[in-house]
Amino acid sequence: MSELSSNAKKVIEDHLGRYPSKQAVTLPALHVVQEENGCVSRKAIKEIADILELSPAQVNDTLSFYGFFRTEEDPLGKKRVWICRSLPCMLRGGEELLAELCERWGIQPGQTTADGELTLELAECLGACDGAPCMLINDELSLCVTADDVDKQLRGRA
C-alpha cells in the first residue's frame, strides 16, 4: 500500500508544473506529508524520491537539514506549540514561559505529552516581537501570551 495519500500525491503533482526542476518540489512534498501524518516516514521518503526522480538520500538530506521535519521514530503530537526564546521575547519573559510550560507539561522542548496531544518546541525569532513573548500553534501566531493563556487555549484549563 502506498504511504502517500491520494491528496498528497495530487499536491505533489500540482507543484511539478511550477518549477523547472522536479527536485524543487521536495519541500512542498515534505510539508504535505508531515501535515497529514505528523512525520515523514522512510517509506514516504522513498515514494517522494520516486515521484521526483531523486535518490531517497537526496530527499533525506533536505529533510534532515531542516530541524522542522520529524521521522517516524519521533512523530509530532496533534498540535505543535512553539515558544519563542530569541532576544525580544527573552527580554519579556519568553525563557520563563518555555521553562514554565516544560514543568507544567512534564516534557522538555522537542518532546510530546504522553497523551500525544501536544508537542512543545523552542523557537528562534517567530517574527512577532511586537507581541513578545509570542507563540506559534502549528502555523498561527499568538501574541503576548502567558503560561495560563497557553494552558487555557490548549488544554481547557489554566
Partner 1 sequence: MSNEEFKPVLLARQGKPNSHKLATYKADGGYSALAIALAMKNTEVIDVVKASGLRGRGGAGFPTGLKWTFLPKELNGPIYLCINGDESEPGTFNNRVLIEQDPHQVLEGIVISSFATRTTTAYFYLRYEYGRCYRVLKDAIDEMYDNNLLGKNILGSGYDLDVHLHRGACAYICGEETGLIESLEGKRAWPRIKPPFPAIEGAFRRPTVVNNVETMACIPHIINRGASWFMTMGIPKDPKNPRDAGSYGPKLYCISGHVNKPGLVELPMGISARDLIDKHGGGVWKGRKAKAVVPGGISMGFMSEKELDTPLDFAGPGSVGCLGLGTAAVIVIDDHTSMIDVLYNACRFFAHESCGQCTPCREGTAWSTKILERIRDGRGKLSDIDVLLEISSSIGTIPGTTICGLADGAAWPMKTAIHKFRSEFEEYIQSGRKSESRTLAGSH
Which residue ranges make up the site for partner 1 (CB under 8 A)? 18-21, 23-28, 30-31, 52, 58, 61-62, 65-69, 82, 85-88, 90-92, 95-96, 98-99, 102, 108-109, 122-132, 136, 138-141
Distance CA 121, CA 84 (A): 9
Q: Which residue, 65 or 115, is less far from partner 1 as judged by CB? A: 65
Q: To the nearest whole angstrom, how small is the minimum distance from the Cβ of residue 37 to partner 1?
A: 16
Distance CA 56, CA 43 (A): 9
71 backbone dihedrals φ, ψ, rounded to 5° = -90, 175
Q: To the nearest whole angstrom, how small is the minimum distance from the Cβ of residue 109 to partner 1?
A: 5
Q: To the nearest whole angstrom, how small is the minimum distance from the Cβ of residue 1 to partner 1?
A: 26
